[in-house]
Amino acid sequence: MTDLSLKSFTAIDRVADLQTYIDALSAFDAIAELQELKQLAARRVAADMRILDVGCGFGLETLRLARLTGPGGAVSGIDKSAGFIAEARRRAQQAGLSIGFEVGDADALPYPDRSFDHARAERLLIYLSEPSRAVAEMRRVVRPGGSLALIEPDIGTTTVNLADRALVRRVMAHEADTAVAQSWLPGPLAGMLTDLGLCDVSVATRVLIFPPDLAAAYFASAGTSAHHDGAISDGDLAGWMEGIGELHRKARLFATIGYFLFTAAVR
C-alpha cells in the first residue's frame, strides 16, 4: 500500500512522488458528499465575479470556479506548493482557462484590499498554527458585501471499521494529535469568523466515505506513524496492517470522516 501521510501536505514539494498525492487528492475530491459541500459553497458564486481560491493546490476547484464565473469573471489561485501551482497552470492551459495562479502564503496574501467578491479555502486552515490570520487575510481582500466559504474536516471524527476498536481509537487519536495543527477546527471556526467581523455565518456538514483504495493507503500510513512515535506496539502495527489489508482485499473496508462548510458575509 502506498504511503499517504497528511503531514506531507505541510511540505508537499519535498515528497518523492508528487503524483501520488495528486492522485490521492483527485480521488478524495470525487467523493459524493464532498462534492455536495462544494456545490453548496458554489451557490455564492455567479458569472462575472472575482474569485480567490486560497490553498488552491493543483486547481481542482479553481478550474470549476473559472467555468462558473465565465469570461467576464476573474479567478485567482494561490498555494505554497510550487509543484502544485505548476500542475494547476498546466491544467488551466490545457482547459483553455485564464486563471492567475501564484505561489504564496495564506497568512500574507499578495492582493489589494477589497479586490475580490468571494474567497474560498478547503483543507487549508487545519494545517496552520494560527488559522485566524489566514481568515483575516481572506476577509481583507474581499469587498464589503462579498463572501467567504471554508471547507474543513474534523480530524477527530475519522474512523475505520477494524474490529479492535481500542486500537482504532489509539491510532486515530495519535493521528489527530500529530498529523495537523488544528484537529478539531470546526469547533472554534464559527466563533472565529464572528470575532473577525464576519456576519451571516452558516454551517453545513456531511460525513464523507473514503474510497477503498485511498482508505487503505491513508489508514496504513496512520498506523505506521503511530508505531513510529511509540503510540502502538509492533504487534499492534502488525494487527493493524493485516486488518486493513484483509478488509481491503474483501472489499469490506469502510472509513469515514466529518466535513464542514462554513460560509459568511463580509460587512
**Residues 91-125: tens digit of each pLDDT:** 999 999 999 999 999 999 999 999 999 999 999 99
Distance between CA atoms of residues 128 and 125, nearest Å: 5
HSE-CB at 189 with a 13 A cutoff on CA atoms is 30
| Residue 127: band (very low, low, confident or very high) from pLDDT cuts 50, 70, 90 | very high
| Residue 2: band (very low, low, confident or very high) from pLDDT cuts 50, 70, 90 | low
- For position 7, what pLDDT does the model report? 85
21-34 average pLDDT score? 96
38 Rama class: left (phi>0) / alpha (psi -120 to 50) / beta: alpha
For residue 23, is pLDDT > 50?
yes
How much is the pTM?
Answer: 0.95
For residue 86, is pLDDT > 80?
yes
Question: For residue 204, how many other CB atoms are within 10 A of its CB?
Answer: 14
159-164 average pLDDT score? 98
Percentage of the chain modeled with pLDDT above 70: 99
For residue 16, is pLDDT > 90?
no
- For position 246, what pLDDT does the model report? 98
For residue 176, is pLDDT > 90?
yes
For residue 5, is pLDDT > 90?
no
- For position 244, what pLDDT does the model report? 98
Of 114, 98, 174, 148, which is closest to residue 262 (Cα–Cα)? 148
What mean pLDDT, rounded, does the chain reach? 96
Enumerate the domain spans of the chain.
6-155+181-207+259-266
DSSP H helical ranges for the chain: 18-29, 32-41, 60-69, 82-95, 131-141, 165-178, 186-195, 212-228, 234-249
138-150 average pLDDT score? 98
What would the pLDDT profile of 183-197 be if each residue is shown by its tens digit?
A: 999 999 999 999 999
For residue 4, is pLDDT > 90?
no
DSSP 158: E
- For domain 6-155+181-207+259-266, is the CATH number 3.40.50.150? yes
Q: Give burial (CB, 10 Å; 0-12/13-18/19+) of 133.
A: middle
For residue 1, is pLDDT > 50?
no
For residue 20, is pLDDT > 50?
yes
